[in-house]
Amino acid sequence: MIRNLNIFLLFASVALLAGVYALKFSIEGTASERTALIAQIDDQEGQLSLLKADWAVLNQPGHIDPIVQRHQVELAIGPVQQQQFGSFAGLPMRPVAPDTAGMDALFAAIADGIDPIDAILQMEGIE
């Protein structure tokens, strides 16, 4: 009886030993994985901080303004002038009745294959 118990205990201890070693090695593996991840996160945070700084530079009015000024002539843009502001009070009132005759003429023209928009586009040189 005692002998059987001893044999069982012997096998059990060998099995536990193997288990503990396996656990130890797996934990070491996990730890090194963690260290690698920390290093990677650190590295990426560093890169992220540089990208954020880049983004902040690109967003500065002081960075955008010279670009705007370089393209002022080509794009025909400039600082907003007082005269360019409007208000709701400045809008004309809606016509009393829709211009039925004008709409009919327009639809008739489109039906005939003449699109007035084409003329505008050609004038602007878009097509």
Partner 1 sequence: MAVATEDFAPTIALEGARKQRGNLTQARIRWMILAVVLGFGLVGGRLVQLGMVETDQTIEGQARDLITATRPPILDRNGLEMAVDIRVPSLYAEPRRIIDVEEAVSALRSVLPDLDETWLRNRLSGDQGFVWVRRELTPAIQDAVMRLGIPGVDFITESKRFYPAMNEAAHVLGSTNVDNQGIAGIERHMDSESVALLQDLGLARGNALTPVELSVDMRVQHVMHEQLVDAMTRYQAIAAAGVMMDIHTGEVIALASVPDFNPNEPATALVKDSFNRITAGIFEPGSIFKTVTIAGALDSGSVAITDQFDARYGIRFGRYTIDDFHGKHRILTLPEVYKYSSNIGTIRIMQTLGKDNFRAFLGRMKFDERVDFELPEMRVPTVPKELSEVGAATASFGHGLSVSPLHMVTAYAAFANGGNYIAPTLYKRDIAEAEALYERVISPETSDSMRYLMRLNALEGSGSQMNKAAQGYRAGGKTGTAEKVVDGRYSSSKVTNFFASAFPLDNPRYAMVIMVDEPKAENPQSGTTAGWNAGAISGRVIQRVAPMLGVAPDFSEAIDQQIVPPVLR
How far does Cα 11 stand from its chain's mean position? 61
Question: Is 56 a binder of partner 1 (CB under 8 A)?
Answer: yes
**Nearest residue (CB) to partner 1, 61 versus 95:** 61
Rounded-to-integer distance, Cα 42 and Cα 37, Å:
8
Secondary structure of 28-91 in HEC code, one letter for each residue: HHHHHHHHHHHHHHHHHHHHHHHHHHHHHHHHCHHHHHHHHHHCHHHHCCCCCCHHHCCCHHHC
Contact 106, 116 (CB under 8 A): yes
**Nearest residue (CB) to partner 1, 39 versus 119:** 39
Which stretch, 11-19, 79-87, 91-99, 110-118, contacts partner 1 (CB under 8 A)?
Answer: 79-87
Question: Is 60 a binder of partner 1 (CB under 8 A)?
Answer: yes
Which stretch, 3-11, 59-67, 91-99, 118-126, contacts partner 1 (CB under 8 A)?
Answer: 59-67
Among 2, 85, 102, 111, binds partner 1 (CB under 8 A): 85
Between vectors from CA 9 to CA 6 and to CA 14, what angle results, nearest 5°?
A: 130
Binding mask 88-107 for partner 1 (x = CB under 8 A): --------------------
As given in the structure block, the two tokens for residue 119 are 């003329």
As given in the structure block, the two tokens for residue 57 are 């530079």
**Nearest residue (CB) to partner 1, 78 versus 116:** 78
Site residues for partner 1 per CB under 8 A: 42, 45-46, 49-50, 52-53, 55-57, 59-63, 65, 79-80, 82, 85, 87
